[in-house]
Structure 1
Amino acid sequence: MNIVTNSRENGARTVDMRLEVVVIPVSDVDRAKTFYRSLGWRLDADFPVGDTFRVVQFTPPGSPSSIHFGTGITSAVPGSAQGLYLVVSDIEAARADLIGRGADVSELFHRAGPGQPAVSGRDPEGRSYGSYATFSDPDGNGWILQEITARLPGRVEADATFTSPAELATALRRAAAAHGEHEKRSGGLHDVNWPDWYAEYMVAEQTGKRLPV
């Protein structure tokens, strides 16, 4: 079996290492299970072994990675996991969904750049990576919602993928808006090749390549 891929670091091929699970410390396993289930996350496993070990696994919608919590799986203080990022393509919709499920989510805020102070409200220019909201589980483990609509160059090596119908629909709307501007620049003529333009735009946006104009 060939396990070497085309991933590269300094020009050399490397072996794929995919982040699978993040362990979060909780004080009450059943309470945490109820909370994450209420968010609509998929329950993958709940394996108790006697009274000293139990592992529960949940996966957020569309995520390739999961979380573990339970009994006897970490010595970290409950609530000490902070800065856990959840990437979304529409932060307002994601925030509304979480609130509708009972989560206490902060107001939206944005940053002018890395290391800059938080400013109230969504990024006024709608920049990718710029808008945030936060919430915590019952133990205080802290989650950060971050809106990403276009990846930085080189950030994604694989072809574009969409993890849910909602994410694909949002990408289509952005492509439609950009294509409308493209047709205006072309004298308002109908572009019969719009499917090709949409496809090129959506792949470029997700893989961090130059967007068509």
Structure 2
Amino acid sequence: MSNIAVETSGAGTFDMKLEIVVIPVTDVDRAKRFYSELGWRLDIDFKPGDDYRVIQFTPPGSGCSVMFGKNITKAAPGSVQGLYLIVSDIGAARNDLLRRGVEVGEPFHDTGGVFHHADGKCVVSGLNPLRQSYASYASFNDPDGNGWLLQEVTVRLSGDIEVGDPRFTSEVLKAIHPTTPG
């Protein structure tokens, strides 16, 4: 497998937006209470009969929503992992969730860089020491075990990032410039 990004011709000729992520839950009303208590906007609660229900919530500031309900997915409850919520201040976001009664893990960072390793081998407790963008995380689960990650992003990646830019981890820079030493 190559680590080289491939540019496609015609990219940007039309919008293609991620709109909804379906998450599997056991108890629809329990999930509705949980996501409501997060402070997310309830967009729809549609129940045309006893065998079908759709609930949609949107996190504050997000262009993408989550949807769950009855008979909308065959996935096992709790099987969706690695749902990223991007925040500008991970401490403030974590404190807000804790205040709302959500069990949020302690902040962590990954010595490997931009995305944490799911196997946990490179995970270190605490915020990224330099507070570099894309490098600090905290995690929580919904009542069914669907896994969420808060990721602190203070500066967005762009195509003009140069090697040595102190705003990003060396791993981010290597992803952009594969020839970066280190």
TM-score by length of 1: 0.66
CA distance in 1, matches of 2:158, 2:41: 31
Quote how far apart the aligned CAs of 1:151 are: 1.3
Structure 2: stretches of 5+ with no match in the other structure: 1-6, 161-182
- For residue 28 of structure 1, report the CA deviation from its aligned partner: 0.2
> 4+ runs of 1 displaced by more than 4 Å?
none
- The question of 1:17 aligning with 2:16 is answered yes
CA RMSD after TM alignment: 1.4
Alignment of 1:60-209 (within 5 A): 60-112=59-111, 113-114=113-114, 115=117, 117-154=122-159
Aligned length: 147
Give the match's secondary structure for 2:154: coil
1:196 matched to which residue of 2? Answer: none
> Shift in Å at residue 152 of structure 1?
1.6
Normalised to the residue count of structure 2, the TM-score between the two structures is 0.77
Query: Once the two structures are superposed, what CA deviation does each residue of 1:17-45 show, in whole Å capped at 9, x if it has no partner?
Result: 10000000000000000000001000010
Greater share of helix residues, 1 or 2?
1
Q: Which has the higher contact order (CA 8 A, sep 6+)?
A: 2
Counterparts of residues 32-51 of structure 1 (less than 5 Å)? 32-51=31-50
Using the alignment, how far apart are the partners of 2:159 and 2:143 within structure 1?
Answer: 37
Shift of 1:110: 0.5
| Corresponding letter in the other structure for 1:105 | V
**Percent of aligned pairs with the same residue?**
63
Q: What's the CA shift for 1:11?
A: 4.2
Which structure has the greater CA radius of gyration? 1
Gaps of 5+ in 1: 1-8, 156-213
Secondary structure in 1 aligned to 2:124?
Answer: strand
